[in-house]
Structure 1
């Protein structure tokens, strides 16, 4: 008996991406020390991208930027699917 099917895997993935996109850098991430320490890098300088924390913050920012519109559409499709087929 399959307890964890492909549909549930899609639901879990969408919920995790929703959770990442909802995180606010100003309200939540900065409080736990995961915000960007520099507002803008100066000319010739860059952010410190070598630490795991900096890479994770960059990943969160990238996911939030790239998945904004597709996530709205995916959530709408899942809501309509659940309403029609339950």
Structure 2
């Protein structure tokens, strides 16, 4: 049971990690370039917790959160996924799980 959940999670993370931003994500409008807000210079300084004085404090949409998650998985999980995939492959070859 736990092994099946681990395999499904690994396969889903692998699927996200191999998505091509140029070929696939940009075509459907999920590129990280489009998700970046334009910085507005010349804004008066405001305290980080003062929501009323800071006009840039907007709620981040779910789409932008997913774009950031995909980007983070693609950059941060690339090397650990290689090692984890190798461990799973060796485990399957030796024990035939």
TM value normalised by structure 1: 0.79
How far residue 52 of structure 1 moved from its aligned partner, in angstroms, is 1.4
CA contact (8 A) 1:49 1:55 kept: no
Residues in 1 aligned to 2:34 and 2:88: alpha-carbon distance in whole angstroms:
37
- Which structure carries more helix by proportion? 1
**Residue among 66, 71, 74 paired with 1:56:** 66
Matches within 5 A, 1:3-82: 5-35=1-31, 36-37=33-34, 44=41, 50-82=60-92
Structure number with larger C-alpha Rg? 2
Gap runs ≥5 in structure 2? 42-55
Cα offset, 1:69, TM superposition: 1.0
Structural RMSD (CA): 2.3
